[in-house]
Structure 1
Amino acid sequence: MSARAIQRINAEHKAMASNTSVYSVGIDDAFKWHATIYGPQGTPYAGGIFRINIEFPEDYPFKPPKYTFGTRIYHPNINSNGSICLDILKDKWTPSLTVEKALLSISALLAAPNPDDPLVPEIGEQFKNDRFKFDQTARKWTEQYA
């Protein structure tokens, strides 16, 4: 294990621990976290509590952590395995980003899906072509799973 990675992970955990109104973090071990984000108001996800699994690589913060949804969600940029299509979690990651910033970006993705770069093309098409049905299904899944 990289001592530098553990030091950074611990510092981020300590900094975030006081902000429980946005998310809570529990640690199974230094490189695996479980966070929760709340569905943004004014979206079909409002009222939902979504679990995010975070796995840090040994060379964090130079490589991004792997973020996956542990809660089922109906979203064009999140697939059934919980994988998230968001550039800062992949090729746009920089060491100046933090877990807190990434979670805020994921929350923003819930509020503003990107149907033009979908991970689930069918849901992206529905978002663009039948927004009412998309919202209805996303709200139903939120009530059922989150």
Structure 2
Amino acid sequence: MSNTRFSVAVHVLTVLHLHDGEPVSSSVLAGSVGTNPVVIRKLLAALTQASLVTIDRGTAGGARLLRSASAISLADVLDAVSEVDDMLKIHTSPNPACPVGRSIGGILDVILQEGFDAFRDALARYTVADLVGSVQQRERA
């Protein structure tokens, strides 16, 4: 699985929280993540659409959290940047003349959705504030 949008989004939100409401540019965020600012701007668009961040325009602009870090669950982040289809894809051209080929997609859809729901439920137990606390604890150690 090569989709890193979730982990990058969590990284970005954690950095934004640590900047105490001050706008953070996509260049600064990209430097922290280790990616291109264009990637960050695309991700920020999804986070803005999900009402997790707001963007201040202009030379002193940048992204800021729209809600407190304790009010943003990791499930909220997942919902903003991913869908079950992003996580596990089912092959698209099975042989319809084969009994397995006719059925496997529908069977796996149900199982994968169940797994995605369990994964999402586990993420809902954690917030961006929890991650900030863990980052700070590791930095002190």
TM-score (norm 1): 0.24
Q: Which of the pair is proportionally richer in helix?
A: 2
Q: For the pair shown, which has the larger CA radius of gyration, 1 or 2? A: 2
Q: Which of the pair is proportionally richer in strand?
A: 1
Structure with the larger RCO, 1 or 2 (CA within 8 Å, 6+ apart): 2
